[in-house]
Chain A
Amino acid sequence: MATALRKAYTPTIGAGAGRNQRTALPVSRRQRKRRNALIFRSVLAGLLLVFSLGYIGLYAQVTLYGYRRAELGRQIRQIEMENQALEAEIQTLSSPERVSALAVQSGMKPRDDVVYISPSESISVALAR
């Protein structure tokens, strides 16, 4: 069966070909040219399609990266602003007024028993109060 099928679909060229056998028509030069041109155009169209799809894909990728970059830029800006707020909070917490108030709350008071020493740290200049 398989052999019969193979036979049936094997193109036979030249004289003596049976009635039931498929006869390959002689391919003229023009036809060949036309076929080649068709193949060429198809390949060209295929390439163009691939190139276009590639281009679109890349462009989409670039756009996505652009969105990502914009988002990251926004996040950086937000973090910078948060930093500013935190910096301001640090300054608030370390402001002289607050430190002074905390010192008083903690029961601290200015020292009144300070010894002044000279820059060489060897001679006691005087004793305050």
Chain B
Amino acid sequence: MTAKHLRVLKKRTAWLFVILTVLYVLIAGRLFYIQVLNNEEYCKLAVQLRQRQLVLTADRGTIYDRVGRQLAADIPTCSVYVHPQKVKDKFGTAKQLADITGLNEQSILKLLMSKSKFVYISRELPVEVGDKVKEANLTAVGVIREPKRVHPAGSLAAHILGFTDVDGKGLEGIERSLNSELTGQDGYAIAEVDSYGRVIPETRRGSVPAVDGYDIVLTIDANLQHITEEALAKTFETYKPAGATAIVMDPHTGEILALANCPTYDPDNRKGVPAGAWRNRAVTDLYEPGSTLKLMTIAAGLEEGIPATEVVATCTNGGMQIGRRRVRCSLHAPYMAGHGGVDMYGIIKHSCNIGAATIALRLGPDKLYTYMKDFGFLDKPGSGMAGETVLGLASPDTWPAIKLANIGFGQGIAVSPLQMACAYSVIANGGELMKPQIVREIRTKDGRVVEAFQPKVVRRVVSEATAKQAIEMLIGCVDDGTGKSSKVNGYSIGGKTGSAQKASTTGRGYAPGKYVASFMGVVPARDPKLVICVVVDEPKGSHWGATVAAPVFQEIAEKAMWYLRVPPDMPLEQDESAPVGVTTGKVKVKVGAGHTG
């Protein structure tokens, strides 16, 4: 080795030393940066890589009817998602997904072309479809299990139950009003994951368990609900009204046993259903009750000492002049010349406006206002259903005589069907107003009762004697008056028809040809088990409560008495072709104390 070689070697060694030193310094600097200056961020990254926060999803509560039939429940479904930017073969992926899910290939492709980091291809698919997508093992395509709200009984009680959005948030009905109770609270846990992303057992910590939503037990009975919906649908089909409502209530407890609205919808298939069909008309829609409100005026009169048999007014076809206005009765044969001298029984039986107006005038505005308030027309019923509406009345000091007279026979005041059902329940319940109830119990998934709703007396409105007399008047109305079409063989029926004009949308006067036909009834009248309220809005062909609404009452009452096994309280009208005493081949029905589930 020559001296020249040695010099070169020395020089190269020196350079190598310098380079290595620089490299070491750089590495040391980088390490200092990572471990000292930026350690928090890298710690976080490391934790992110090996730790996962697991969301423990709480189950949404189930909604049951009073005897435990499921009305709304969750079932498992699958949702397919994709990270579009990570998909390499977009066309191939779209085709495969379309083949498996049955969705449109072009719409999937559109989603795959999206610039978003995450998009759902489809949600709430059957579990089997989700499994097939998983098996296909497509790049950047994932499947998650999600619950879907279903209504096993279809459209039954749709307006009471309401529905949820795709994320399980209640949007209408009980699903909305009791959303917080039904939803529960998601829990979470922190755990370490392995290279496959699986949670390593025993590494779970800081776990907060999920609290499942409560189950809700409603007061409605699915069978009675079906009976009610079926009867209401018939009248809806026949008279093609804008809407119709029927409520079946236990007057002694205030429990709503059935509540139906038309038009209705299927909560599981709402596509194309106008939003108006979702409305629970029984609580949201106000109408002028017309003649059905006369009973409240009469009860107030009785309570204030006007004798039931006193002839309070003489009804002629000329009507009654009040100031510059004239109050008339709707007269039919054989009363074309007027109802003549009418007492309270006559007012209810013939639905005499002049008689009811006279009693209202005798009571005066303050007293009538107080009774209207006591019957619950000026307060929200507080049933627990979403969307309850109430329309206040102006101060009685400002009422002109004509307004007082109008309110006496149910015009110039707006009520909801539920308020009306509650007011008739006062009469059927011996004078006490009960708080209407739609929820019976709130309980945990394992059946522990969290809250049981007991019947609640709101106030005494009239005395028991007044209520009894009012019931007799209702019986008279069905036996000999306008409510004959509501009769049920074997049962005493008390009821009142109503055929009220609808207020004009312009705010002045009444809309020509637009009526609300209604019927409020009690069955059996002498030992009331049910109050049934039927309201039909703008029926076509006929507008009489007796023609349009009373038959609905009749059908519901007849089937409900059978279903609840309420014994007949009246002699049955005999069928000539079926001799009494012949029991061969007959169905025997053991009758006993009525029950409501």
Contact = CB atoms under 8 A, between A and B. Distances in A.
A66 to B, nearest CB: 2
A63 interface: yes
Given A87-B70, A91-B153, A129 B575 contact: yes
Interface of B is mostly: loop
Contacts of B490: 116, 126, 128
Contacts of A127: 572, 574-575, 578-582, 586
A70 B189 CA distance: 14
B201 A67 contact: yes
Interface string B568-597: 100111110011111101111111100000
A73 B469 CA distance: 65
Nearest to B593: A119
A69 interface: yes
A63 B199 CA distance: 11
Contacts of A16: none
Contact of B586 (A69, A88, A92, A114): A114
Interface in A27-72: 62-63, 65-67, 69-70
B156 A113 contact: no
Contact of A126 (B200, B230, B572): B572
A129 B201 contact: no
Nearest to A65: B201
Number of chain B interface residues as a range: 35 or more
A63 B202 CA distance: 8
Interface stretch (B71-79, B177-185, B399-407, B472-480): B71-79
A37 B7 CA distance: 54
Interface string B66-90: 0001100111100000000000000
A81 B153 contact: no
Contact of A119 (B150, B583, B590): B590
A80 to B, nearest CB: 9
Given A63-B201, A124-B583, A87 B73 contact: yes
A113 B581 CA distance: 12
Which one of B147, B201, B226, B575 has the highest number of Cβ atoms from chain A below 10 Å of its Cβ? B201
A63 B389 CA distance: 60
Contacts of B581: 124, 127
A82 B592 CA distance: 41
B529 to A, nearest CB: 16
A106 B145 CA distance: 40
Given A62-B202, A129-B572, A85 B230 contact: no
Interface of A is mostly: helix
Given A91-B69, A129-B578, A97 B153 contact: yes
B76 A84 contact: yes
A84 B154 contact: no
B550 interface: no
B222 interface: yes
B341 interface: no
A124 B225 CA distance: 31
Contacts of B76: 78, 81-82, 84-85
A63 B230 CA distance: 59
A108 interface: no
B568 A116 contact: yes
Nearest to A69: B201
Given A62-B202, A88-B73, A88-B152, A129 B587 contact: no
B314 interface: no
A63 B586 CA distance: 70
A100 B145 CA distance: 35
Given A97-B156, A114-B586, A84 B200 contact: no
Contacts of B96: none
Given A125-B567, A125-B568, A66 B200 contact: yes
Contacts of A125: 567-568, 591
B592 A119 contact: yes
B489 interface: yes
B223 interface: yes
A111 interface: yes
Interface in B399-444: none
A118 interface: yes
Contacts of A126: 490, 568, 571-572, 580
Contacts of B575: 127-129
B12 to A, nearest CB: 47
B50 to A, nearest CB: 15
Interface in B204-247: 222-223, 225-226, 230
A67 B202 CA distance: 9
A125 B570 CA distance: 10
A88 B223 contact: no
B565 to A, nearest CB: 10
27 contacts: A66-B201, A70-B199, A81-B76, A81-B147, A84-B73, A87-B70, A88-B75, A90-B152, A92-B153, A92-B154, A94-B69, A113-B578, A114-B586, A115-B587, A115-B589, A116-B568, A119-B591, A124-B580, A124-B583, A125-B591, A126-B568, A127-B574, A127-B579, A129-B489, A129-B572, A129-B573, A129-B578
Given A62-B202, A126-B580, 20 more contacts: A78-B76, A82-B76, A84-B74, A91-B73, A94-B69, A95-B154, A114-B589, A115-B586, A115-B589, A116-B568, A116-B591, A117-B589, A118-B591, A125-B567, A126-B568, A127-B572, A127-B582, A127-B586, A128-B489, A129-B573
For the complex of A and B, 10 pairs with smallest distance between CB atoms: A66-B201, A91-B152, A96-B226, A81-B76, A126-B572, A95-B153, A85-B75, A91-B70, A92-B152, A129-B575
